Structure 1
Amino acid sequence: MELGKEVLPLAVVVMGVSGCGKSSVGAGVAARNGMRFVEGDQLHPAANVEKMAQGIPLTDADRLPWLDRIGEEIKTAKEASQGLAISCSALKRSYRDRLRQAAGGHLAFVFLEGSRDLLLSRMQARQGHFMPASLLDSQLQTLEPPTGEAGVVTVAIDMALDDVVALACEGLKSAAVKGGFHAG
């Protein structure tokens, strides 16, 4: 039973701080469920990418146009009755609520969480990514964990990628059965 076919239209936002594996897990969730995957970092305005590359944390004002572009991707997928997995840090509750509003209905989040040490080691090992490891602490300070929010599946990242993807998919299926993806 495929997640995307069970509960379409469904958008899944794979969220967390930099280095948690949003892109890899998002692509895995999409592949396992016949969904399209969108790399949220590619939707950042050029000015945001440049700012982060210089080690300057983004502000709410910087993030809002980016969140709106992600919201448009979600809305477009919903209108086309297509499943979508998209990566987005979605660090604050207000950001997630903005995405929920754009979805106008079914929306799920997979929150990838890990220790600072694990996240830092992953960021330091990355090649060619614009986000420097020096910004990890600002992301952790900005993060408002989605504890208690409906339609959120939390997965620890301290295991193999395939296991993280499998747990994310299992959690999404379980939440779908319970009807936990509505914008409420």
Structure 2
Amino acid sequence: MAQSAWQTIGSTVASEFSDIPDLEQLTRLVVRLLLAAVLGGILGFERERSGKAAGVRTHMLVSMGAALFVLVPIQAGMAVGDLSRVVQGVIAGIGFLCAGSILKSEGEDQVKGLTTAAGIWLTAAVGMAAGVGRETTAVLSTLLALAILSLEGPIRRMMDKAPPAVIAAADAPPQDKPHQ
């Protein structure tokens, strides 16, 4: 019995979505991508709240993209050794994105955007951790990053209030004395 054109199209489309053979793998995929997006969003919220350009959406997309870059090769059965090349590519690509967030002011010795760049880089690492199934590592890294970003302000204020260090004469570096 000949298939109709619609049956052929339907079976072709169904076979294109057969890369997830069972509900367990679909659940694993959804959990990893959602976790990457949520953790990236948390890091992005902190940056957005601080008034930085790269905020929630950017961090969510970076994290989920990094997770997807490692998830697809794992689904395809790529060997762990070969996966390291994928990770290297993600790191290099994220480096270009980070470089775009770093600005040096003209005439000033001030560079801005380093923390945002480091945050984007870390967000990609969190996404990769979630993507390879290291959810605990991804969550703990996010919490530690939040602690670091949250403590920066109070530590800076403490340092600004601290009296300047005084170098005692005994601690001063030796100076060249003229020969007599």
Indicate the TM-score class for this superposition, using the shorter chain for normalisation.
0.3 to 0.5
| TM-score of the pair, normalised by structure 1 | 0.38
Structure with max Cα Rg: 2
Hey, which of these two has a bigger chunk of helix by percent?
A: 2
More strand by share: 1
TM-score by length of 2: 0.39
